[in-house]
Amino acid sequence: MSDVVTLERQGAVAVVRVNNPPVNALGVAVRQGLENSFKAAEADPEVKAIVLVCEGNTFIAGADIKEFGKPPQSPSLPDVVNGIEAGSKPSVAVIHGTALGGGLEVALSCHYRIARKDAKVGLPEVKLGLLPGAGGTQRLPRVVGVEKALDMIVSGAPISATEANQLGVVDEVFDGELLAAGLAFANKLIADGKGPRRTGERTDKLEGVDNAALVAAKRAELEKKAPGLFSPQRCVSAVEAAFTLPLTEGLKRERELFAECLVSPQRAALVHAFFTERLASKVDGLPKDTPVREFNSAAVIGGGTMGVGIAMCFANAGIPVKILEISEDARDKAIQRARDTYGMSVKRGSLTEAALEKRMTLISGVTDYADLADVDVVVEAVFEEMGVKQKVFEALDANCKPGAILASNTSSLDLNQIAQFTKRPEDVVGLHFFSPANVMRLLEVVRGEKTSDEVLATAMAIGKKLKKVAVPVGVCDGFVGNRMVFQYGRESEFLLEEGATPEQVDAALRKFGMAMGAFAMRDLSGLDIGLAIRTRQRQTLPAEFKLPTILDKMAEAGMLGQKTGKGFYVYEKGSRTPLPNPELPAILAAASKEQGVERRELSDDYIIERTMYALINEGAKILEEGVAQRASDIDVIYINGYGFPAHQGGPMFYADAVGLDRVYARICEFHEQLGAWWKPAPLLEKLAKEGRKFADL
């Protein structure tokens, strides 16, 4: 039939086989191949049933995302799936791996579905700023009812084969070979005289339920939880069409809504986020065949906030890990903290008691470096002081086996200097986790000037194994993420001195899509960290780099954030809900006065410009210095480590969307009005003047 879709006959069963690596996406050749194969099977009088099966690791994982934004090519996916459903011979989709998006829509157009027990199915289009556009919003509600369909389509979260079976999405769960299971099921259909069973013709699950109320509730929930997002509300409208319109009309409505999403800027940003997350793992200049060292055992030095979280990451990945602490007491406390943290997951229902115990068997505590002689990878997470790091790395050098990866989780110290404390700087690398390390997906992999290719490749592989988004970065103060966030933090403090309140700044940032406001975030991590940086900078920075004084004043008043119950907000005992801090206005007024600033009204747009353009200008400097290898890597870091909204694509994508000429012009104005911090990055200036984008680099 074609290279990517083949047709053969096994007895009375036609076998349609898709083979389009890596994920059997529904590019034009697959769509054409499916259409041709199903038509040929329909026309063959010997064929009594049809089985659809896929090669490789997965069933069809969806439409080919690379085709979005390009001129459409026939046949369209809706036409293909409608054709499959209309067929007169029973068809069976045999699902393994993931049947996602268009993949599940193809499966739903088949008359029966079976799934291997480790498979997952879902409609994740919303995560790409879309909605299921090939009948998913019309057929899924007909199978599982409106409530569950709304849940699945609006969240985009996949479900397991077992749950799919319970819900009737799949008819049978099997274990074993795909084709054999498919043929057995199809031959039984033939033997039982079963004909086609078209999902589109069903209405039973749409009846007897107040679907309108379910839709209204979902709309209200979204207005609260995702006010700025384009596609989720349209997902709801499409599902609504499933019970308010006949199938053909519903499919038409779905198509219109899909087309609206397809051209939305949020779709472009979310697809950018999808592809760049995968691109970030590719290290420029690192040969593909670079060997990766084995890592079957790990150690973490320092069982504090970060160390325990990092140890949990290894245990979650099934890798035994030792935590080394300074005393038996500190060691035992670290182990207990890991148990307590897992315990909270058990309480929330996201982990079973058995899984907790299993993970805890992988975490052990030690106090002697001699116990680390065999480990493959060590991550140091002790106090952020060079003297302490020196002692640790000297001890590691003396005790660890040759070839062990020696990593530091330092957030600001010079990795090259740390590497010099060993006689094997080529084995030293930075693994910069984000807090809480067991939760946050981002991992900056810091390449020192002597880090070997092999060690870098292994560090990236460790990141993948720990299910992190690993992004390679170079050595500088704060690496990529924290170096940029410093600019953002400083500007937001200046905004307070100029007239804004924390509530106003945070509301503007949340409206932009940030997961948390700048000040709620500062309260969460504690103001002392920022204060320490400020104090250090006051001693080293040239005088023209003015610094805000709010933090000092707040620290004097004992306001260090959530840990003291008071910071930019106040927190009632045991609560993390930020409430206005009644003492803050006086502090802000004093700071404004001291800086000689007349407090004024600031608009939300201005707040976004000041905070976002501060990130972008520093991002441009980072790119120019080669600390990040691509603008999109910076986006990946911000989305995965700092709650930057994926639907804005990351700070550098956002800059391109606004237009670099406009961003540059504003930064020039800020430079004139606000001083040295705002000196435009030469790269930004160059690109703006040439009419180019960061994406063009």
Catalogue the active-site residues. 105, 125
Residue 18, beta-bridge partner list: 5, 54
Provide the minimum distance between the beta carbon of 67 and ligand 3HC in the complex, in angstroms, as a whole number.
8
Closest by CA to 633, choosing from 298, 395, 278, 353, is 278
65 binds, among ligand 3HC, ligand NAI, none (CB under 5 to 8 A by kind): ligand 3HC
343 contact, one of ligand 3HC, ligand NAI, none, CB 5-8 Å limit per kind: none
Smallest separation, CB 143 to ligand 3HC (Å): 16
Contact 470, 464 (CB under 8 A): yes
Around Cβ 75, how many Cβ atoms within 10 Å? 15
Distance (Å, rounded) from C-alpha 507 to C-alpha 514? Answer: 9
Query: Sheet containing 120-122: which strands, arranged edge to edge?
Result: 98-100, 120-122, 159-160
Q: Is 689 in the site for ligand 3HC (CB under 6 A)?
A: no
Tokens of 536: 């250090």
User: C-beta of 382: minimal distance to ligand NAI in Å?
Assistant: 4
Cα separations in angstroms, 106 against 73, 228, 399: 18, 31, 57
Nearer CB in complex with ligand NAI: 133/303: 303
Which partner, ligand 3HC, ligand NAI, none, binds residue 391 by CB below 5 to 8 Å per kind? ligand NAI
Integer Rg of the chain from CA: 28
Residue 301 binds which of ligand 3HC, ligand NAI, none (CB < 5-8 A, kind-dependent): ligand NAI
Q: Which is nearer to ligand NAI, 37 or 410 (CB)?
A: 410
Residue 23 binds: one of ligand 3HC, ligand NAI, none (C-beta under 5 to 8 A by kind): ligand 3HC
Spatial separation of the C-alpha atoms in residues 368 and 58, rounded to whole Å? 46
At closest approach, how far in Å is the CB of 657 from ligand 3HC? 21
Residue 325 near which of ligand NAI, ligand 3HC, none (CB within 5-8 Å, type-dependent): ligand NAI
Tell the smallest beta-carbon distance from residue 334 to ligand NAI (Å).
7
Q: Which residues contact 264 (CB under 8 A, 6 or more apart)?
A: 129, 230, 231
Query: Among 8, 11, 46, 66, which residue sits at the site for ligand 3HC (rule: CB under 6 A)?
Result: 66
**Residue with Cβ nearer ligand NAI (299 or 636):** 299
**Which is closer to ligand 3HC, CB of 133 or CB of 196?**
133
Which of the residues 22 through 51 are near ligand 3HC (CB under 6 A)?
Answer: 22-23, 25
The answer to whether 104 and 119 are in contact (CB under 8 A) is: no
- Return the structure tokens found at 399: 């005790």
Name residues contacting ligand 3HC, limited to 252-311 (CB under 6 A). Answer: 275, 278
Note the helical H segments in 15-91.
28-43, 77-86
Could you list the residues that contact ligand NAI (CB under 6 A)? Answer: 301-307, 324-326, 330, 381-384, 388, 391-392, 409-411, 433-435
User: Of these partners, ligand 3HC, ligand NAI, none, which one is at the site of residue 128 (CB under 5 to 8 Å by kind)?
Assistant: ligand 3HC
Spatial distance between the Cα atoms of 442 and 280, rounded to a whole number of angstroms: 11
25 or 615: whose CB is closer to ligand 3HC?
A: 25
For strand 321-324 and strand 298-301, is the pairing parallel, antiparallel, or unpaired? parallel
Helix and strand totals (H; E) in the chain: 28, 19
Place of tokens 């006010």: 227
In the structure encoding, which two tokens stand for residue 93, read together?
Answer: 């989709």
* Least gap, CB of 100 to ligand 3HC (angstroms): 4
Binds ligand 3HC by CB under 6 A, chosen from 4, 63, 312, 484: 63
Residues sharing a CB contact under 8 Å with residue 616, sequence separation 6 or more, in sequence order: 651, 652, 654, 655, 663, 667, 684
Beta partners for residue 92, in sequence order: 51, 112
Of 639, 606, 631, 645, whose CA–CA distance to 681 is shortest? 631
Of residues 83 through 142, those in contact with ligand 3HC by CB under 6 A are: 98, 100-102, 105, 124-125, 128, 130, 132-134, 136
Residue type, 263: V
Beta strands per DSSP E along 414-458: 428-433, 442-447
Which residues sit opposite 469 in a β-bridge?
Answer: 442
Specify the stretch interacting with ligand 3HC by CB under 6 A; choose among 61-69, 111-119, 176-184, 634-642: 61-69
Q: Which is nearer to ligand 3HC, 288 or 600 (CB)?
A: 288
Contact status, residue 168 vs residue 108, Cβ threshold 8 Å: no
CB of residue 39 vs ligand 3HC: minimum separation in angstroms?
21
* Partner interacting with residue 492 (select from ligand 3HC, ligand NAI, none; CB below 5-8 Å by kind): none
278 binds, among ligand 3HC, ligand NAI, none (CB under 5 to 8 A by kind): ligand 3HC
Minimum distance between the CB of residue 476 and ligand NAI, rounded to whole angstroms? 15
Nearer to ligand 3HC, 125 or 618 (CB): 125
**Alpha-carbon gap, residue 135 to 150, rounded angstroms:** 14
Contacting positions for ligand 3HC (CB under 6 A):
22-23, 25, 58, 61-66, 77, 98, 100-102, 105, 124-125, 128, 130, 132-134, 136, 275, 278
